[in-house]
Amino acid sequence: MARFIFITGGVVSSLGKGLMAASLGALLQARGYKVRIRKFDPYLNVDPGTMSPYQHGEVYVTDDGAETDLDLGHYERFTGVSARQSDNITSGRVYQDIIARERRGDYLGATVQVIPHVTDAIKNFALADQGDLDFILCEIGGTVGDIESLPFMEAIRQLRNELEPLQTLSVHVTLVPYIAAAGELKTKPTQHSVRELASLGIKPDILLCRAEHPIPEGERKKIAQFCNVRAESVIQALDAPSIYSVPLQYHGEGLDSEVLRGFGITDAPEPDLSAWDDVTDRYFHPEGEVTIGVVGKYVGLQDAYKSLNEALVHGGMANRAKVHIKWIDAELFENAGTDLAAELEPLHGILVPGGFGERGSEGKIASVRFARERNVPFFGICLGMQMACVESARSAGHEAASSTEFGSTQEPVVGIITEWMSEEGIETREEGGDLGGTMRLGAYDAQLAEGSLVSRIYGGETMISERHRHRYEVNGAYREALEGDGLTFSGMSPDGLLPEIVERPDHPWFVGVQFHPELKSKPFAPHPLFAGFIEAALKQSRLV
């Protein structure tokens, strides 16, 4: 049976529990263990699919079509283990399932309560799909003391009692703030956080203390004494120059060794960290640099494009290049006073990412036009590909070309998709139906045209699988007009009905994809499309 590591956070939010879980998973994996990481989210949404990116960052989509928390992106990028629907649960999903069962009469007349029904559901989620795993890491969202997280904390408490000794471990992530006026690090917030956790019946085994300055030995001993842990179990987590430094940094502080000691494992092999040494070497020792402009609508919060940001960095690693990202609000180009050329000319590549709604769409189309006319490397993702098709249609003479997502139009180059083929058979949706979980979600195959740019980028492959999240598609009725303008449909769904990739053979590098390749990119395995895009941007940088 797998061993369980429960990860909680205290003092404040945004301490990096997800990154800590991903890093610890990577370190255990480097020692030869099989790991899986799961996220417990206390909010009442069934999943983050209907949330604004400004509320909860990006929505990370799995191969099996789950819309999940962005932390699952960290887990997958750091461990290479493909996330699944069973790796993310919310309070909303728990209560939805319980209420559905109650309506069916599954509880045989019993009073449905938080204990045992809600906590049992949470425990069942944690214990499911263990297979041959050695470790399952469970991150609890939010902060200790939040009213929403209480059922999850209670479930952890019960599991630690019910499972065998040395089968569970509690890691608590806290903050040791530096008070500049006093010139001191303060341990009291950590003490209070641990006391709050203990009041819920959970004694932490390891404290990971985030700090801006090194924590002196004396302060660590003080934390250990007041928090009832070994001094060696108080591990400092200083701010890192890059998230890709974190696994090596935590290993240097002894986190993985202390975790294994907590499980009574004394014969673990030393970790093979050569892949992480190579990643950090490529990141910190680039041989070139490029500037990529990301023209989007959620640029005020980088977490809204977290996987995209990291995939661009990975593309830089593949080319030993430093990637500077310039975040540009697409609405900027809809203002008459904006000099579009002045904003875009210094760039070595232009990327238009996915998104929803009409706001900023004309600015994105203007960016596509600039990239096409000036031969600047262009990468359109999801809505970005659709805007490239709208721009091409307008160039071909269809001046009213638009998307039905933005309202009624006489030239629906992009329209809602109501039927498509999946592994389970024909999927159907109704216009005006529920928004949650109703898009074309998850991994779907695409057939690549032989000899195309994308086929070469994918190493000569003619069939690929990529993750989707969209409910609008390019209208095949406009294919002839778009191809007449020079836009080639180089990737289609296997049944030949849904456009997946477009490109311009007469352009240095112009690619639009309906899927989200950023979701599958990893630091030690950069996605080929991002590697190719950055390679083209490097060539462009020598021309500017």
Catalytic residues, by residue number, are: 382, 516, 518
Q: Could you tell me which residues are beta bridge partners of residue 411?
A: 401
Residue 185 near residue 176 (C-beta atoms within 8 A): yes
Count of C-beta atoms within a 10 Å radius of residue 209: 24
Which two structure tokens, joined as six digits, stand for 224? 């250990």
For residues 421 and 173, what is the distance between their CA atoms, to the nearest angstrom? Answer: 44
DSSP type of residue 449: P
Which two structure tokens, joined as six digits, stand for 463? 């069939």
**How far, in Å, are 8, 9, 235, 482 from residue 221 at the CA level?**
21, 20, 11, 69
Rounded to a whole number of angstroms, the distance between the first and last alpha carbons of the chain is: 58
Among 430, 383, 374, 373, residue whose Cα is nearest residue 403: 383
Among 193, 148, 199, 151, residue whose Cα is nearest residue 171: 193
For tokens 């649960």, the residue is 89
For residues 462 and 450, what is the distance between their CA atoms, to the nearest angstrom? Answer: 7
For tokens 């956070």, the residue is 9
Q: Could you tell me which residues are beta bridge partners of residue 174?
A: 209
Residue 149 near residue 141 (C-beta atoms within 8 A): yes
DSSP type of residue 406: G
For residues 244 and 284, what is the distance between their CA atoms, to the nearest angstrom? Answer: 10
Q: Could you tell me which residues are beta bridge partners of residue 325?
A: 292
Which two structure tokens, joined as six digits, stand for 183? 């010139």
Burial letters for 120-157: b for 16+ Cβ neighbours within 10 Å, e otherwise? ebbbebbeeeeeebbbbbbbbbbbbbeeebbbbbbbbb
For tokens 């209670």, the residue is 154
For tokens 């471990």, the residue is 169
Handedness of CA 303, 304, 308, 312 (dihedral sign): negative
Exposure of 346 in the CB half-sphere (CA atoms within 13 A):
9
Which two structure tokens, joined as six digits, stand for 204? 């932490």
Question: Pairing state of beta strands 35-41 and 88-90?
Answer: parallel
Q: Where are the beta strands (DSSP E) in 256-336?
A: 288-296, 321-329
Among 513, 317, 437, 497, residue whose Cα is nearest residue 62: 437
For residues 470 and 383, what is the distance between their CA atoms, to the nearest angstrom? Answer: 8
